[in-house]
Amino acid sequence: MKKLSTILWAVTLLAGQTQAEIIFGGDFQLYKSGTNPKYSVTAELDDPGPFTSYAQGVGDGVPIAGSGVVNFSDATSGSTADLPGWVSVNGTNPDTGRNGVGGSTGLNIFAGWGGQQRVETDSPVGVLEAGKSYTITAMVDGPSGGPVDGSLVFHLMANGEQLTPTSVVGVALPGGSGFQMISRVYDAAANSDYIGEDLTIIIGVEDDNTLGNRMIWDDVTFDEGEGIPVELFELRVALNAENRGRFDFAWDSQDKYYYDLVSSTDLSIPPEDWPLWDGRSDIQGTAPLNTIEMVPSGDGSRFFAVLRKDARTLLSESFEGDDGGFTFTSIAGTDWTWGAPISSNSGGVPNPGGSVNAGNDGSAKCWGTGIENPGYYANPTTDSCLRSPEFSLVGMTEAKLNFAEAVDVDGGDLAVVKLINAVGNAEIATVYTVTDEVIDSSAWAAANEGNAIDLSAGLGETVYLQWCLSGTGGTSQDYIGWYIDDVEVTAK
């Protein structure tokens, strides 16, 4: 059962080492030209005595030439070098097509010749396929006090055409603050006109005819994953001014929605299944902009998403880690139990095979009436209720309950959900009754045929829920009872 209604913000990558492999040449070392095998002798861009001024010409294999001397790893030196895997591409001045490099720990690109300056991967990094998503990341910095975010050129291209990203993480601080990670996520569904086309990456800087408008690039990566349902947006991020180990996030929002910040280190897991990050849940929309500050970045690779919800989550329990704070009261017969069910109902007559051996969707744990083996609930009578933690419906205008159930009860027994006022423990209403259509069926299913259960009778009150099973249990004592999992209460 999905806990969150809508993915508003797609996967965004921040902080630390990227999970994807750095593409060939993406770490921007200098390579000595003319060696055999080619590119076998390298030097870091911050090697002692680097070129002070040099440029890469347009075309594959065209070397860098300049006025300085670079020292290579084999103790040789020279005045020409190469950046394998990358070629210059013409900017707004097609006659130049040059890019300054050197003097830093990354590729230094600046628009000092009257045109936008860019470099592009000289061969495809992949092919755009239906049902896929693609993430590109890079580390970027700029000159102290200079522009960064508005000057970036960072695109995934399909046969020369710029694709539309579904997620953007830019750099909100000026240059000179140290390298920061930027990312773009592209979903094939949003770029379907280019399915089957080769993909390349372009990086660079926009032209404003000043040497202050430059970028320092390093560690460019490309990663492919499964497609995800997303909406176009820009999630803005900055290092916190007081603590550079934490982030500040901002996104366009609407008052009627709530938002959760979630995070994962694994892109193969859908974002709606990612765990909450730093307890940042049920963030009320404050149009036109929401901001959250001092968010810990975590260690190593980490992906973040903001999920939009129509309602606030008041109660959400999968029962995997613990019992969720649920308790039970029994007047007679079989108690409710939390744990891993092993109710086989072996040899049940006339109701064989009504077993429950896992939680909902194959999870490990749940609550149930006697989850042991064989799991029959007591005859002649069971009268037992499972109680949820309290939650407040004060100030709410709407409240809903969803949960999963596995039901195997005698047709004469009663299985109901009651809404109870926490002040005085008076019953407000019976909000759900197990119907005859699901009796004798122990398969997991969404309660109420998947329709949310209305809790509006409790608006304005602090309340709790009770799942109550009562009855004879059948003359042959071969019914295993009522099991619940994935309980969620939302309100707005």
pLDDT at residue number 216: 78
C-beta atoms surrounding 38 within 10 Å: 13
> What is the token pair recorded at 372?
């042991």
How far apart are the C-alpha atoms of 90 and 370, rounded to whole Å?
Answer: 73
CA 110 to centroid of chain Cα atoms: 34
pLDDT at residue number 412: 77
Looking at the DSSP assignment, which residues form a beta bridge with residue 481?
408
Fold for the domain defined by 317-491: Jelly Rolls (2.60.120)
Residue 389: asked if its preceding bond is cis (omega within 30°), the reply is: no
How far apart are the C-alpha atoms of 38 and 233, rounded to whole Å?
Answer: 43
C-beta atoms surrounding 355 within 10 Å: 21
pLDDT at residue number 348: 45
pLDDT at residue number 351: 47
How many residues in the chain? Answer: 492
How far apart are the C-alpha atoms of 9 and 297, rounded to whole Å?
Answer: 18
Looking at the DSSP assignment, which residues form a beta bridge with residue 407?
482
How far apart are the C-alpha atoms of 283 and 297, rounded to whole Å?
Answer: 19
For the chain, the farthest-separated pair of C-alpha atoms sits apart, in whole angstroms, at 97
Amino acid in position 43:
A
How far apart are the C-alpha atoms of 248 and 15, rounded to whole Å?
Answer: 12
pLDDT at residue number 5: 31
How far apart are the C-alpha atoms of 403 and 155, rounded to whole Å?
Answer: 44
Cβ–Cβ < 8 Å for 141, 106: yes
Is pTM beyond 0.75 here?
A: no
Domain residue spans in the chain? 12-17+123-309, 317-491
pLDDT at residue number 34: 58
C-beta atoms surrounding 492 within 10 Å: 14
Per-residue pLDDT of the chain (492 residues; tens, 9 = 90+): 233 333 333 333 333 333 456 777 778 777 776 555 555 677 776 655 555 444 544 444 455 545 567 777 778 877 667 777 777 775 433 333 344 444 456 676 655 544 567 788 888 999 999 888 888 888 887 765 555 555 678 899 998 899 998 777 666 555 566 677 788 888 888 899 999 999 999 988 775 544 445 677 888 889 887 654 444 456 677 777 788 778 888 888 888 788 888 888 776 777 778 889 998 988 988 988 899 999 888 776 677 888 888 888 899 999 999 999 999 998 888 889 999 998 876 544 444 446 788 999 999 999 998 888 777 777 667 889 999 999 999 989 999 999 999 888 877 788 999 999 999 999 999 999 987 555 555 789 999 989 999 999 999 999 999 999 987 655 556 678 899 999 999 998
CA 276 to centroid of chain Cα atoms: 10
Rg of the Cα atoms in the chain: 30
Cβ–Cβ < 8 Å for 106, 178: no
C-beta atoms surrounding 46 within 10 Å: 11
pLDDT at residue number 223: 85
pLDDT at residue number 185: 84
CA-CA-CA-CA torsion sign (347, 352, 354, 355): positive
Cβ–Cβ < 8 Å for 96, 171: no
C-beta atoms surrounding 488 within 10 Å: 20
